[in-house]
Chain A
Amino acid sequence: MSAFILTMAAVATQIAATSPGTATPTTPPAATAAPAATAAPAAAATPAPAPAATTTPVATTAPIATTAPVAVAPAPPVADAAPPPPSGPVESRFDVRLDLDTVWYTKQSFDFFASHDASVVPGISVGYAVFHAAPISLVPELGFSANSEDASGLFGGALSHTSIASKNVYAGLSARWDLLSILDVAARISGGASFVHAEVEPNISSAGTLKDDGTSPFMTLGGGFTVHTPAGTFQNRTGGFRSVLTGLAVEGGYVLAGSVDLTPSPSGDQGRIKTTYQSIGHLDRSGPYIKTSLTVRF
């Protein structure tokens, strides 16, 4: 995971340097401010060249030039002249999250695979703000999460072990509203599919472990808030990383998912007589959730 974070940080640096919405004066304006006659208006039009005016010889703009032609040499660039850091709102378009979803499967069917109702599902998602009109952003996202649960000794040991694993892919859309410089709230809707793999291991059976796979479409509807670092927290001297924000997001909502009918059966040779395995029922996949995320925006 750390390697991933480092990689993402590098990408963030690169994107910050070229991001169209960031006020990052990266080139000293002195070289372009050399034409004397236009220097002053230019400095007034854009804040960036202002420091250059302090290094330009006064003589080049003095009215006495009208009495004697003076050879005007270009002003040498001043390398150590640091611009003041930019201020004001930032526009972080990318949103990368590490999620930890806790879903409460309150229906009894989940008890077949776990001794508790709450299932923790780690995941990752990436979003990009396609629309930004302060203070509102619309952020489509793509995400992936996975988890597994298991149980042992069910029905007095008749079932030695049961397990269920799910992989979830989804696409979502968040509407974000920047309330404060360190706080925003969001509403999110997403939809996707869970790919479920269930296993049942009877205590006594000539068939061995029984398995079944199923797919469950789902959608979520939730809302929450993100507490994040103020704009420019990670800004360097050159104004880089100004758009980088990190934060902690908490979201609550409900997963509305299709149930998965499970008919576990062995995967190997089934013998000479046709064997039918009966369905153990359908696994309910809906329930309320809380999503806790570490988020990085840039």
Chain B
Amino acid sequence: MNRTTFVGSLLALLVAGCGSRSPRFDVSPKLLDPVAVDDHVVFVDTGRAEARLLDVSGSKAPSAPVVVPIVPDATDVEPRNGHADQLLLLCAGQRDVEGVVPEDPGLVLLGADGKSTTWRYDSAFDRMVQSEDGRFAFLFFDPTNVTSDILKNPNEVAVIDLDAKNGKPALKTLRSLGQSPQAVAFSDKPVSIAGSERSLAVVLLNKDFAVVDLSHLERSEYTVELTKPGASTVSAAQVLFSTEETPPKIYIRAAGSDDVFVVSIEPQGSVSGADTTAAGDNDFALSFNQFGTGTGAAPSDLALFDDGGKTRLLVAGPGNGTAIVVDADTGDTTSVTLPAPASQIHLYTGPKPSDATPAQRALLYTPGGQSVVFLDLAGFGTESNRAGNPELLTLSAPYAKLQVLDDDTVMLLNQSNGLSLLKLGDRSLSPITGPNLVNAVPDLTVGKLWLSPVGDRLGYLDLSNFHPNEVRLDAPIEHLVPVPSQSKSNPKILVTHPSSIGSLTVLDANDPANLAHAYTVDDYLFQGTLQGASR
């Protein structure tokens, strides 16, 4: 070793010995909005690729969060349908850039107990829709996200059976006529086809829709064209499954059309006469019908109801101020002009002031409007109920949102300030004055309406007696998170405060004004950070 080499080696040793800060101390936390799962609140940090779960079930502050590594760049977090103790995290992964270890995208199933399962794939899907029972996750590309410079196939989708052990994502490219997925609707219950139960999904494309048999993902999907070539665009906007009918049906409302579309699902080969479409080796076929709702009706909402053992479709037609009832089996369509146009439907079963007998009825309403219409649905279009006995109720102020509180009570949150409570049986209104409540969060498990707070005061309305109250906290409120407790402990309401290290206050949801039951936890974002608890 010559002298130069020796000196160089010595210098290199010295430089190495000086060391430098670990890169993890430079990574900025990027938090998604907190989500509650079971007795825990979860903070998903997309920057540091970790989820921090704080158990807030106890009467005292938790000593430390459970830190779970996740796939980098989570873009969506949702509670898993039908599983109060699980979350789904859609993650884009880490793209291959210099100085960073690349990582495939993935879907993470995170349990309240800190256990997680990850499904990997190589397309960075950024939209996720779950089936009603939470068994399936359907992943696709957000059609509104056009800023990405990543090469992608917009018709590629992934379906993951979350209940399957060692299941792998099923990737497929949907056939379309140049369109891409906009939304997905799942059958709320299994569909009986030729004696077997199936889970179906309808993928809404721009001008078409596709029906996918989730129980046989290896089979081709049906793609149905809604818009004829050269015609104005008709795009599916709402899907309802009717699994109790024989044959099962799919009802579809489409923007740009006054018709509603009914797709019957029939075993392969049993269809005759109707316009059918078959694809691949599917063992069922689709029978396609459409029903007019009246010129200019512009259907805006659909609802299925049972009328004497028959399933009927109620359509709101605000364009011409009507409501339409469709019998898909007979093709009968009955239309009634409402005293005021209504765009949304709330079905309920109950009495009315002039009839104490509980019966199928509908409340039709229009966010932004100042009135609601009641409609009797039992025997609609028959001698006993020829036009639904529409009844108008006018409010004192325009409302922005309807919130169902119980079978007999709905809450109409005013566009400006306050709200109105509507008793459906009595058809009576009770105004509640106060601040703007449009973003208020109802928590029916504790019978409270939590006000979207500004400043350091948490307001709430006791829904049992409609008594308003508030509690002042020690710091401004940033997020409000009801924590649905599955344990024997009291349910909690949790607020976070603006803080770069994490700050939250937990209150007893049954008695939020009692600060002796409250506690604040700070610094949970950096708990254990000296030892690198995150990775």
Contact = CB atoms under 8 A, between A and B. Distances in A.
B25 A112 contact: yes
Contacts of B531: 108-109, 281-282
A157 B533 CA distance: 19
B17 A156 contact: no
B61 A108 contact: no
B524 interface: yes
Interface in B2-45: 17-22, 24-29
Contacts of B18: 116-118
Contact of A205 (B28, B500, B519): B500
B518 interface: yes
Interface string B466-502: 0000000111100000000000000000000111110
Interface in A156-206: 156-159, 200, 202-206
A207 interface: yes
A252 B198 CA distance: 74
Given A117-B19, A158-B28, A206-B497, A280 B521 contact: no
A279 B24 CA distance: 18
B121 interface: no
Contacts of A262: 530
Given A104-B19, A280-B528, A155 B503 contact: no
A114 interface: yes
Contacts of A278: 63-65, 521-524, 526-527
A156 B28 contact: yes
A275 B21 contact: no
Given A156-B28, A202-B500, A282-B531, A273 B61 contact: no
A264 B529 CA distance: 13
Contact of B527 (A154, A205, A279): A279
Interface residues of A, number: 43
A156 B521 contact: no
Contacts of B25: 108, 111-112, 154-155
A108 B23 CA distance: 10
Count class of interface residues, chain B: 35 or more
A1 to B, nearest CB: 27
A8 to B, nearest CB: 33
Given A117-B17, A118-B19, A202-B501, A280 B529 contact: yes
Interface of A: 104, 106, 108-109, 111-112, 114-118, 151, 154-159, 200, 202-207, 210, 262, 264-265, 270-283
22 contacts: A108-B531, A109-B530, A111-B22, A112-B529, A116-B21, A117-B17, A156-B27, A202-B499, A205-B499, A205-B522, A207-B499, A210-B523, A271-B474, A273-B473, A273-B515, A276-B522, A277-B522, A278-B64, A278-B522, A278-B523, A279-B64, A281-B528
Given A205-B500, A276-B519, 20 more contacts: A108-B25, A108-B530, A109-B531, A111-B25, A112-B25, A112-B530, A115-B20, A115-B21, A117-B18, A154-B26, A155-B29, A205-B501, A210-B523, A270-B474, A274-B61, A274-B520, A278-B65, A280-B527, A281-B527, A281-B529
- Nearest first, the 10 A-B pairs at minimum CB distance are A156-B28, A117-B19, A281-B530, A271-B474, A276-B61, A109-B530, A278-B527, A275-B520, A158-B500, A204-B500
Interface of B: 17-22, 24-29, 47, 60-61, 63-65, 473-476, 497-501, 503, 505, 515, 518-533
